[in-house]
Amino acid sequence: MNLKEFAKSIGMSQTTVSRALSGYPEVKLETREKILRLAQELGYHPNRAAAGLATGRAGAVGIVMREGLGFDPNTTEFMAGLGSRLETRQIDILITVVEDRQAELAAYRRLAASKRVDAVILHTPTLDDDRMQFLKELNMPFIVHGRGDDHGGYPWLDIDNLGAMYRATGYLLDIGHKRIGLINGAKGDTFAEHREQGYRRALKERGLQAPDMLVVNGLFTDDIGYRAMQDFLALPEPPTAVLAGSMMSALGVMRAVRSAGLQLGRDMSLIAHDDVFNYINADNMVPTVSTTRSSMREAGVRIGDILLQMLAGRDVANHHEIWPVELVLRESTCPPANA
């Protein structure tokens, strides 16, 4: 069926249906969800070939990943959300894998010249990022997943990384901890810098400072979490609590704590940044793990919404979103043993 027939069959106007499928915010969330559900149930799919002929669009968006850096559980969750949203409009995702930043810029140049994608998703922005200006010069539409420039003239979506770490650190300070370790992302990545700022701000407000040996930067892996925690425990004055930048890092922290004969939630406290993985549930761990919670899958869905608005011709150049992060307390946090 075509759009007219589908709209008639569900008793809604073509305009409402088209706007809902394109992600326009004017359509109420419950209405959009109802239309998406009915489209799936009735087997309605927009005719992408016809739309492409009419609009001159490729019907695809691009994302460039750096080998060894971009593939992790966070990426899987994000892509699942993004793909599920774009599929409702039969928009494909073209993934290009490169080795370094120069190769990434070359990939954007190829995508712009070949016109194989209508827009690209730029991820993991850095403090000195030149990719946004490069894409502007290529006249390539894009959206940033992460914090961008408020006056940059492009859309971005981020979580409140500074607020998340500020609140988590503040809670640990409130229950008596004074030496708190931070296992963070790569130095220079905007989200990691904001998290460290929140962590240090909370300490400074209590008249405390974080020694450099209590802050570790790197990829979010079990191995790095394990090694960082081992190094913390080997210090003359080890921390009594740790903030792990992801659930993957937290798994390594938990392993190191057990290997040292200590008990999490008694001898050591842990708060992890939890991206709501379906296969790593903080509620099912022993002990259950306190988290600052956000959903990468939901972020992928929302990025897809904004992309669809962009492709539909809506001006989203100054659209910026910052999502609050919830602090969920469980068994892995407790006052320090010597309190």
pLDDT digits (tens, 9 = 90+) for 86-120: 998 889 999 999 999 999 999 999 999 999 999 99
Tokens of 30: 């419950």
Asked whether the CA dihedral 182, 183, 188, 191 is positive or negative, the reply is negative
Instruction: Give the Cβ contact number of residue 115 at 10 Å.
Output: 11
Question: To the nearest whole percent, how much of the chain has pLDDT over 70?
Answer: 95
DSSP β-bridge partners for residue 273: 292
In this predicted structure, what is the pLDDT of residue 54? 47
Tell me the whole-structure pTM to 2 decimals: 0.83
d(CA 14, CA 3): 7
More confident residue, 27 or 333: 333
Query: Residue 339 pLDDT > 50, yes or no?
Result: yes
Mean pLDDT is lowest, of 5-19, 35-49, 121-135, for: 35-49
Contact (Cβ atoms closer than 8 angstroms) between residue 302 and residue 159: no
pLDDT of residue 284: 86
Asked if residue 171 lies in contact with residue 165, where contact means CB atoms within 8 angstroms, the answer is no
Q: Residues 259-282: pLDDT tens digits?
A: 999 999 999 999 999 877 777 888
Q: Which of 142, 133, 127 is nearest to 64 (CA)?
A: 142
52 vs 180: which has the higher pLDDT: 180
Per-residue confidence (pLDDT) for residue 47, from 0 to 100: 64
Give the pLDDT score at 28. Answer: 85
Task: Report which of residues 30 and 271 the model is more confident about.
Answer: 271
In this prediction, what percent of the chain has a pLDDT beyond 90? 73
Beta strands in the chain (DSSP E): 60-66, 92-98, 119-123, 142-145, 156-159, 180-184, 215-217, 241-244, 269-274, 290-293, 320-323, 326-328
**pLDDT, tens only, 165-203:** 999 999 999 999 999 999 999 999 999 999 999 999 999
- pLDDT at 55 > cutoff 90: no
The pair phi, psi for residue 179, each rounded to 5°, is -110, 110
Q: What pLDDT is attached to residue 98?
A: 94
- Please state the separation of Cα 238 from the chain's center in Å: 31
pLDDT of 70 above 90: no
Q: What is the mean pLDDT of residues 152-176?
A: 97
Instruction: Indicate if the pLDDT at residue 222 is higher than 80.
Output: yes
Look at residue 69 and tell me whether its pLDDT is greater than 80: no
**3-class SS at 135?**
helix
Adjacent-strand bridge partners of 291? 272, 328
Of 275, 232, 274, nearest to 257 by C-alpha is 232
The rounded mean pLDDT for the chain is 91
Q: Is the pLDDT of residue 337 over 90?
A: no
Give the separation between CA 70 and CA 219, rounded to whole angstroms: 10
Greater confidence, 103 or 2?
103
